[in-house]
Amino acid sequence: SYCPGSNIYTSRLRSVKRDMAGYYRPPILVSRIKFDNYDTDSSGYIELDELKAVLYDLGMRTTETDLVGALLALDKAKDGRVSYEEFQEWYRERAERVDALTLTEDSQRVLSQAIAFFKAYDKDMSGQIDREEFKPMYDQLKKDWKAIGNEIGTFDEVLKSFDRNGDEKISLEEFVQWLVNAGTICVQTEAD
């Protein structure tokens, strides 16, 4: 019989806990996995050079000014680095502000592939594809389009179609927006 205050219940509970001790693992938080991924030197902190990868994965520019600004915003202890606790607080706040829009499964797959494709050509990890970096990207796009029986425009025409702000660089945001405009990525609203 069940009796929370009894010695029998307590001793059984201790026995079960002892038996399960080798099997139970507390859940690992996503924020811890992300933090450990960015903490490439396993120092327990994300330093300025490691913060570049955080910003890059968010599709943000990674200029020196952006990096220092992000470090100042995240580094509550003002010790020049980001602890796990600081990162976790920021990560939790960021997750709470997630947009109501969601992507279809196919669009999530395409977006993941598009980001990987973009990163492959963003050799300096600046978050932008400049003219030099775009040349091999253009060649690959041209080859891929030709394989499905389509032609694309000239180098300058295609660069201009991606480059919405006219700075002759393609940001990750511009690249993804081009895919959305082309109907490659579909955003699903709550009404869908």
Look at the pTM and tell me if it is higher than 0.85.
no
Higher pLDDT, 25 or 161: 161
Cα separations in angstroms, 113 against 12, 20, 33, 164: 52, 41, 22, 21
Could you read off the pLDDT of 25-69 as tens digits, one per residue?
A: 445 577 888 889 899 999 999 998 888 888 877 766 667 777 777
User: CA 189 to CA 72: how far, in whole Å?
Assistant: 35
pLDDT digits 0-9 by tens, 107-144? 667 777 887 888 899 998 888 899 999 999 999 888 88
As a whole number of angstroms, the distance between CA 121 and CA 133 comes to 6
High-pLDDT (> 70) share of the chain, %: 69
Comparing 29-33, 71-75, 169-173, the range with the smallest average pLDDT is: 29-33
DSSP of 61-72: ---HHHHHHHHH
CA dihedral 172, 175, 177, 183 (to 10 degrees): -140
Q: What pLDDT was estimated at residue 21?
A: 52
Kindly tell me the sign of the dihedral angle through the C-alpha atoms of 133, 134, 140, 144.
positive
Is residue 189 scored above 80 in pLDDT?
Answer: no
Q: Is the pLDDT of residue 155 over 70?
A: yes
